[in-house]
């Protein structure tokens, strides 16, 4: 196992507290696991995240992807000196999901001085890939 990429030891309770009052809370996006080089979270498939056909809305997938990547990006930098903001996000929606939970896993593709690129894979409860997203983050000095 490689050494952790995080600036400080991850704290799930702190992350969950920061999600209060945000779109993450509204959609019930929950960070559930932090590994040495990944962050994982879930989002329910229900009326909050549906498109009119009763499947997960592509925009909801993008919110999950950007939420996971943004949290992860900000955990890599010194929060006293830097903050990370999304610059670009894209997503390929591969499989419709109509019930249960989807789980996204964010892993870094590039961790640079002024930018980061994250890949977020979203899977259904049967571990089938439903969406793959790439998120580019700007690293900005405070």
Q: Report, as residue numbers or ranges, the catalytic residues.
A: 66
3-state secondary structure of 18: helix
Distance, in Å, from the CA atom of 6 to the CA atom of 36, rounded to the nearest integer, reads 8
Distance, in Å, from the CA atom of 142 to the CA atom of 140, rounded to the nearest integer, reads 6
Nearest to 52 by CA among 98, 94, 91, 95: 98
Using the Cα atoms of residue 133, residue 74, residue 27 and residue 124 in order, give the sign of their dihedral: positive
User: Among the residues of the chain, which ranges form H helices?
Assistant: 12-18, 23-27, 58-76
C-alpha 142, offset from chain centre:
23
């Amino acid at each position: 196992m490689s050494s952790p990429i995080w600036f400080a030891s991850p704290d799930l309770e702190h992350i969950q507290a920061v999600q209060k009052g945000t779109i993450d809370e509204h959609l019930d996006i929950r960070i559930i696991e932090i590994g040495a080089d990944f962050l994982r979270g879930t989002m329910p498939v229900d009326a909050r995240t549906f498109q009119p056909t009763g499947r997960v809305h592509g925009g909801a997938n993008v919110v999950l992807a950007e939420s996971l990547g943004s949290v992860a990006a900000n955990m890599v930098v010194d929060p006293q000196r830097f903050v990370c903001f999304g610059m670009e996000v894209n997503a390929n929606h591969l499989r419709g999901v109509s019930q249960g939970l989807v789980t996204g896993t964010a892993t870094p593709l590039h961790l640079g001085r002024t930018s980061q690129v994250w890949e977020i894979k979203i899977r259904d409860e049967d571990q089938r890939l439903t969406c793959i997203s790439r998120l580019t983050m700007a690293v900005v000095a405070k």
